Amino acid sequence: MRLLGNLVWILFGGFFIAIEYFIASILLIITIVGVPFGIQTLKLGLLALWPFGSRIENMPHANGCLSTFMNVLWILIGGFWIALSHVFFGIIFFITIIGIPFGIQHFKLAALALTPFGKRIN
């Protein structure tokens, strides 16, 4: 079921979302200052490419000040708007019964887009 959900996700926009995240990641990694943010957008891109069956877990050793500071900085720079766009698409998908699984995946992406530091994707 995960394979079918991921294939439908990729066909109906997931591939383009992942490409956007990968391009943003490359652009951020090119600037030396943006490397930590580029790694986080790479995380978002991987989840956007194959969301069904993936889980987001908190890393137990990353609960320090640096992770919190980077999450606050991330939210101020653009994480809020990325998360808001995923929430918007999640609500749109929840209008139909068929779209509910895809809406859930957008909400999962929104949670990661809001605070990506200190989390990993399994």
Question: Which pLDDT score is estimated for 63?
Answer: 64
What integer pLDDT is reported at residue 103 of this predicted model?
92
Name, in order, each residue with C-beta under 8 angstroms of 8's C-beta and a sequence gap of 6 or more.
Answer: 102
Residue 40 has pLDDT above 90, yes or no: no
pLDDT in tens, 45-103: 998 899 998 888 888 776 678 888 888 988 998 889 989 999 999 999 999 999 999 99
Give pTM, 2 decimals.
Answer: 0.85
- Token pair 């809020």 in the structure block, residue: 80
List phi, psi (to 5°) of 119. -130, 155
Three-class DSSP category at 50: coil
**Whole-number pLDDT of residue 62:** 61
Task: Read off φ and ψ for residue 10, nearest 5 degrees.
Answer: -65, -40
Find out whether 52 and 6 touch, Cβ atoms under 8 Å.
Answer: yes
